[in-house]
């Protein structure tokens, strides 16, 4: 199957209101252009060093989403152009994004990464940390960053029930937070292996790489 065919199949399978992020990490500009020429405009990358040259070389109407862990000292390189950052997991990172967005006269949309998997990981906030960050006066004072939603990754497992339980728990938390913070509109969950479960559980954005571009 070609990249264009994979995209077409996915778009047909996804409800219209779900945003498809084509995860193009490790893929070449030529491969990205095949997706672009098939109509795709939203792409996800997980490394700053990779997204910066791609954004320079590729069409300017691409919306680049940073989906991987982000170090504070690298925010400045993506602040001029990044459309959304999915991986915010600390107040310090939020403050740095605000500062760099202000320098660029921009408001940058971000998602808080919430830890839902039953695997060890260094990244993500737990529910109570995310809740505290959303309610903190320090967060509300930031003028150039907008927390527009939440992102989560389920356990990498064949156990569908576990994945469903994890996604549902994040959807429930999202709904609870949204009742207090109306700016929360996006719920980024689901990848190649589990996007249909994620959509069932109320995802609004799926991040799909290998099911579009092939194995990495
Ligand atoms: C790589 C990656 C994806 C996409 O993974 P696939 O299995 O290729 O669909 C989604 N989200 C994040 C955070 C990633 O790093």
Helix axes 29-37, 48-57, angle to 10 degrees: 60
Question: Could you give the C-alpha distances from 12 to 7, 44, 199, in angstroms and in order?
Answer: 9, 20, 13
Q: Which of 59, 57, 70 is nearest to 110 (CA)?
A: 70
pLDDT value, residue 136: 95
Question: Could you give the C-alpha distances from 11 to 52, 117, 201, in angstroms and in order?
Answer: 27, 27, 18
- Give tens-digit pLDDT for 74-108: 999 999 999 999 999 999 999 999 999 999 999 99
- Model-level pTM? 0.97
Does ligand 1 come within 6 angstroms of the Cβ of 66?
A: no
Cα–Cα dist 204/118, whole Å = 22
Q: Is the pLDDT of residue 71 over 90?
A: yes
Q: Give the number of other Cβ atoms within 10 Å of residue 69's Cβ.
A: 15
Nearest CA to ligand 1 atom 12: 67
Does ligand 1 come within 6 angstroms of the Cβ of 152?
A: no
pLDDT band at 123 (very low <50, low <70, confident <90, very high): confident
Query: Helix, strand, or coil here: 101?
Result: helix
């Amino acid at each position: 199957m070609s990249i264009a065919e994979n995209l077409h199949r996915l778009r047909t399978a996804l409800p219209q209101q779900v945003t498809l992020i084509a995860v193009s990490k490790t893929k070449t500009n030529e491969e990205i252009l095949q997706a672009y020429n098939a109509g795709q405009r939203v792409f996800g990358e997980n490394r700053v060093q990779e997204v910066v040259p791609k954004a320079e070389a590729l069409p300017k109407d691409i919306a680049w989403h940073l989906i991987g862990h982000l170090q504070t000292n690298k925010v400045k390189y993506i602040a001029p152009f990044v459309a959304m950052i999915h991986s915010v997991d600390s107040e310090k990172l939020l403050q740095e994004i605000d500062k760099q967005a202000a320098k660029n006269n921009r408001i940058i949309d971000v998602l808080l990464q919430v830890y839902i998997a039953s695997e060890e990981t260094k990244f993500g906030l737990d529910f109570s940390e995310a809740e505290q960050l959303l309610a903190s006066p320090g967060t509300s004072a930031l003028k150039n960053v907008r927390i527009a939603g939440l992102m989560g990754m389920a356990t990498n497992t064949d156990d569908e029930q576990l994945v469903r339980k994890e996604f549902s728990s994040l959807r429930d938390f999202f709904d609870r937070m949204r009742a207090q913070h109306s700016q929360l509109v996006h719920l980024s969950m689901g990848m190649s292996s589990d996007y249909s479960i994620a959509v069932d559980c109320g995802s609004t954005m799926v991040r799909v790489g290998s099911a579009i571009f092939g194995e990495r």
